[in-house]
Amino acid sequence: MRVLFTTLAHRTHFYPLVPLAWAFRAAGHEVRIASEPALTDDITRTGLTAVPIEAPEWSVTDPCDLALLREFHEDGFVFVRDFDFAGADPARWTWPNLLALQHVMVPSHDAVMNNDGMLDQLTAFARHWRPDLVVWETYTIGGGVVARAAGAAHARFVAGPDVTMRVRREFRRLRDEQHPAHREDPAAEWLAWSLDRLGADGDFTEDLLTGQWTIDSTAPSVRLHPGHRTVGVRYVAHNGPAVVPGWLREPPARPRVCLTFGVSEWVADFLRGEVLTDLLAALADLDVEVVATVTDAQRATVTDVPANARLIDFVPLNDLLPTCAVVVHHGGIGTKANAELHGIPQVILGFGMDTEVMGAGLERLGTGLTMPMAELTGAALRERVARLLTEPSFRTAAGRLRDEMLAQPAPNDLVPVLERLTEENRGRYR
């Protein structure tokens, strides 16, 4: 069998796919990973085969038009990021608001990351290589269109809360209540147009957004269950090339607290200077060892490093987190999954998209605490860390969640299931 994976050119989106890709390889199947050239080295470092898709983000030549498009994309991302995905305010989940979200998200977000040039090249490769199955991660929505064009089965891979599909389900429910003349659906229109442009068979169907089935690496109790067919897979950590430093091979003398904030530029810009210095100072009088993963730019802005703190640039989370009592992070899917896999209580700093949903899930299950990043202070963080360290219920609940994750089928065990689903679904439109 031939399996084509498609992913956004970002390691945090690619790395969760690696264990499953290798499970297919270990079972004797051919595997290719298609993404932009910026990810090629990261793909080949895993031992997998890369297919660079050189697609320009923008297809206009007028500098004025280009500037406007970039501004629309950036403003659109902020609009989408700040939507109430957690459902905290039901008044925002109305037909006008959900339709407005679709009208912004589809052209400024989805159609930018799955632009015409990308779909053209990916379809050309798929028609040449003839995959049996296309596995596409959440942001490469065009994977379903490409699979349809090549006669392949396709599955959507989810590694975090499936917030966009929960929104989609409510959008469709409210859409169907409207007068037929007003049942707009920007995503369906864009994908139907893409199918027609590429000469793919069939009309728009909802599986172009959900996958013919979804592969979900989160624990069942934290899934949002948006109503489509889902198969679970155990999360297996892959953090890229890594070396375990000497200090990490020794057990910590005191409870270890990890602060890690990922690679998002927006988060990195916020958590620097006085903010980061204040967080470290607030934890200085706790009987803990603080390990903070920071960028060089963040490190340069810290004016005082307490005696109980260690600033590092990178260490593999699947080696660091098992030594920790608490982890504080920004809601990165890899960080959260690693913490859950090792039963570590968490503090999530919510800043939009799915992070508020993650935080609400932690508190519902009793595995951690959350707070909006905009309200972050050293004192507020200290209070939450102290609770996680002194109240045993958080560790107990985190252990239950760990056991739930370990009960999911490992990638190797899932391959026969995916082989059967592929056989049932490929070529359906031919």
Residue 106 φ then ψ, to 5°: -65, -55
pLDDT grade, residue 354 (50/70/90)? confident
H/E element holding 396? helix 392-406
What's the whole-number mean pLDDT along residues 206-232? 90
Amino acid 426: pLDDT: 85
What is the torsional sign of CA 165, 171, 177, 181? Answer: negative
pLDDT grade, residue 367 (50/70/90)? very high
Amino acid 183: pLDDT: 92
pLDDT grade, residue 266 (50/70/90)? low
Judge whether 133 and 422 are in contact, CB under 8 Å: yes
Share of the chain above pLDDT 90, in %: 68
What's the whole-number mean pLDDT along residues 267-278? 75
Judge whether 155 and 212 are in contact, CB under 8 Å: yes
Residues 57 and 80: their CA atoms lie apart, in Å, by 19
3-class secondary-structure state, position 233:
coil
Amino acid 23: pLDDT: 98
pLDDT grade, residue 404 (50/70/90)? very high
Residues 380 and 166: their CA atoms lie apart, in Å, by 31
pLDDT at residue 289 greater than cutoff 80: yes
What's the whole-number mean pLDDT along residues 25-36? 97
Top-confidence residue, 109 or 325: 325
Amino acid 313: pLDDT: 86
The alpha carbon of 152 is separated from its chain's Cα centroid by a whole number of angstroms, namely 24
Query: Look-up: residue for tokens 């007068």?
Result: 179
Top-confidence residue, 383 or 55: 383
Amino acid 74: pLDDT: 72
CA angle 237/210/29 to nearest 5° reads: 55
pLDDT 10s digits, 98-128 = 999 999 999 888 998 899 999 999 999 999 9
pLDDT at residue 232 greater than cutoff 80: yes
What's the whole-number mean pLDDT along residues 50-79? 68
pLDDT grade, residue 268 (50/70/90)? low
What's the whole-number mean pLDDT along residues 236-255? 91
Judge whether 255 and 289 are in contact, CB under 8 Å: yes
Whether this prediction's pTM lies above 0.75 is answered by yes
What 8-state DSSP symbol labels residue 370?
A: E
What's the whole-number mean pLDDT along residues 312-332? 92
Starting at the edge strand found earlier in the chain, the sheet holding 346-350 runs 309-312, 289-293, 256-260, 326-329, 346-350, 368-372
pLDDT at residue 55 greater than cutoff 60: yes
Q: Which two tokens stand for residue 424?
A: 């049932």
pLDDT at residue 283 greater than cutoff 90: yes
Q: Which two tokens stand for residue 76?
A: 């659109």
What's the whole-number mean pLDDT along residues 288-294? 92
Got the DSSP string for 327-346? EEES--HHHHHHHHHTT--E
Top-confidence residue, 124 or 304: 124
CA angle 156/160/161 to nearest 5° reads: 100
pLDDT 10s digits, 212-224 = 999 999 999 998 8
How confident is the prediction for the chain on average, in pLDDT? 90
Pairing between strand 230-232 and 256-260?
A: unpaired
What's the whole-number mean pLDDT along residues 165-189? 94
pLDDT at residue 326 greater than cutoff 90: yes
pLDDT at residue 58 greater than cutoff 70: no
Amino acid 427: pLDDT: 77
pLDDT grade, residue 261 (50/70/90)? confident
pLDDT grade, residue 258 (50/70/90)? very high
Amino acid 219: pLDDT: 92
Amino acid 78: pLDDT: 78
3-class secondary-structure state, position 310:
strand
